[in-house]
A and B are shown apart, each in its own frame.
Chain A
Amino acid sequence: MSQVGPIIEVELDRDRYRGQRPPVSVVILTFNEEANIADCIKSCAWCDDIQVLDSGSSDQTVPIALALGATVHTNKFKSFGDQRNWAIDHIPCKHPWHFHLDADERFTPEVVAEMATILGPGGATTPHVCFLSPSKMIFLGRWIKRSAGYPNYQVRLFKFGVCRFMDFGHGQREVPQGSVGTMVEPYRHYGFSKGLADWLYKHNHYSGREAEEGLLIRAEHRMSWGAMLTADATRRRRAAKNFAYFLRFRAVWRFLYNFILRLGFLDGLAGFHYCAMISMYEYWIELKIREAQQRWTAETDALVVRMLSTPKPAVMMPPAQQPTGTAPQEARS
């Protein structure tokens, strides 16, 4: 990770995109992304306004971003929703439309061309205030087509001033003031680009956040059968996610759903490992929910007391060694 390639020799080929440049500023949220940031910014070569919002990286992220011509801002990270809203409020973007790209995500020429077409010159062609973008998850060099939830729509492209974000789970959801459009061309998501250890550490953290969300949802009995049957893919996915918080053996169901029902087995070995890792993540979420509901530690403490209970302290310390203050006693009961 410490070794970063020669960063200066990268020249962004902006001229190539001159004809079809959409009126979009790109905002990239980063934290210690030196492994990703160069490739990410290179995929934004078409854009003349690249804004990086860093939350205090201790690695080479900021120097690399600056060397590649991005503007870098810094804000302490609280949550994804908060950070995205900070970017909307405080970063003076050149264009009326913003695209929030993560450091492990990449544009493709097709996405850029589509944005140019749907937004039109000046971004005035479309009636929508934001767009849902599909993304292709790449794992072990392969597009995980079936099990990674493709198209996995997220609002990334939105008009300045009429769309904000709120926190949800470990991520965020959009709050648009107007209609929402849908893009066709997927950007690329290299969700494992920083290594498995990093993915696992991150998902250890995420599973805690998801468990908190799950506890809230279970407490409020927020579950809608109707929403699970609508034609709207995003609403259906979110309703299904809420439903999943009520299930036992989430990990098993999620694996069967991803691997069998969604034909994950067609994605080969990479698909299998993807399904298994997501299942492990689900398992952690379920365990953390149960951990919060059921007081294992209190039960263990009670057992310890039971197994250690004895009528009297067996021996006094010799006077020379007797510390002042407390007297010897049995383990706290």
Chain B
Amino acid sequence: MSVPSTNGQAAPALPAVPSPMELFQRGHGIDVLIPTLNEKLHIEEAVLNARTVGNVFVLDSLSTDGTQEIARKAGAHVVEHKFVDYAKQKNWGLENLPFTGEWVFILDADERFTPGLREELFRVAASGAGHNGYYVNRVVLYMGHAVRHGGLYPSWNLRFFRRGKARYEDRAVHEHMLCEGSADYLKDEMLHIRREPLHEWVRKHVRYADLESTEWLKMRMLGQQGAAPERLFRDVLKYRWYLRREVWPRMPFRPLLRFAYMYAARMGILDGRAGLRLAALNACYEYMIGLMYREKRQRLIESRARGLPSNTP
């Protein structure tokens, strides 16, 4: 599939050795990729903010709310591509968009570059330091408050990397980035703006809870095993994964524990009303998962009990 250039201009070829002047002219050689789906509330601000860093490419998953038009007007190159999952979508963008810079930053529509981060990106891009990828910290802004506790901060993601040196692993959700060579951490942070109304939050999380409880059911009732624990303890990430997937679903009083963890153990209380709200909503989410799991299990047991006699003639 050929890549449509929305401005009708061919992308200039990348010279082999860019001079500092050329880097500057190309916006410090940084391209920003913003994947979107129905982001009309955020996209204009995001594009304008991202344009202060470099060329902006909006990779849209066929939005129906006019995101494309708003992004175009704000000065982004908009390319539409059908969504399969997050990892595949972004990998497609990394391979097919007409990037010109040496560096790529992947930004979500509800995220913003702070001035400090921008300067740091320029410094890194211009110095040509040895690393191929950089982890970026981000801070959640919620209810007029920068949330820096409750286990939500710091939150490191590999978002800034040399073009062609990183891609997402193939996974439906909670995908991670795989980077060739070494990676470092940036000092400054980006903003993650959360201003969705509660209605929106509930709608989304009922759906997530439905999916999550189905995963639990698969794991516990349909005999899909996670990897054996003794192999996992070698690796910290996998150890955490084991805890989350295997141990946590079997714990009693999960909503209360989740609340206590976020609000007390991780000091969410220091974030004031935003910390309380986030901890309470997360407890709600945990409770919804648990209830839906019970319901699905009950149904499975009932259908198993009924299943055989009703199928035989």
Contact = CB atoms under 8 A, between A and B. Distances in A.
Interface of A: 140, 195-197, 200-201, 204, 208, 273, 276-277, 280, 283-284, 287-288, 291, 296-304, 307-310, 313-318, 320-321, 323, 325-326, 328-332
Given A299-B143, A299-B144, A288 B198 contact: yes
B28 interface: yes
A206 to B, nearest CB: 11
Chain A, interface SS category: helix
A140 B291 CA distance: 11
Contacts of A301: 195
A284 B198 contact: yes
A147 B94 CA distance: 56
B144 A303 contact: yes
A291 B198 contact: yes
Contacts of A317: 27, 51, 55, 75
Interface in B171-210: 191, 193-195, 197-199, 202-203, 206-207, 209-210
Chain B contact residues (Cβ within 8 angstroms of A): what range? Answer: 35 or more
Which A-B residue pairs are the 4 nearest by beta carbons?
A299-B144, A310-B115, A204-B202, A331-B49
B74 A296 contact: no
B143 A300 contact: yes
Interface string B283-313: 0100110011001001000000000000000
B291 A273 contact: yes
Interface string B72-104: 111101000000000000000000000010000
A197 B51 CA distance: 41
16 contacts: A195-B295, A200-B202, A200-B288, A201-B206, A204-B202, A283-B284, A287-B277, A296-B142, A300-B141, A314-B52, A317-B75, A318-B27, A320-B12, A321-B55, A328-B48, A331-B48
A200 B48 contact: no
A299 B143 CA distance: 7
A317 B50 CA distance: 11
Interface string B226-251: 00000000000000000000000000
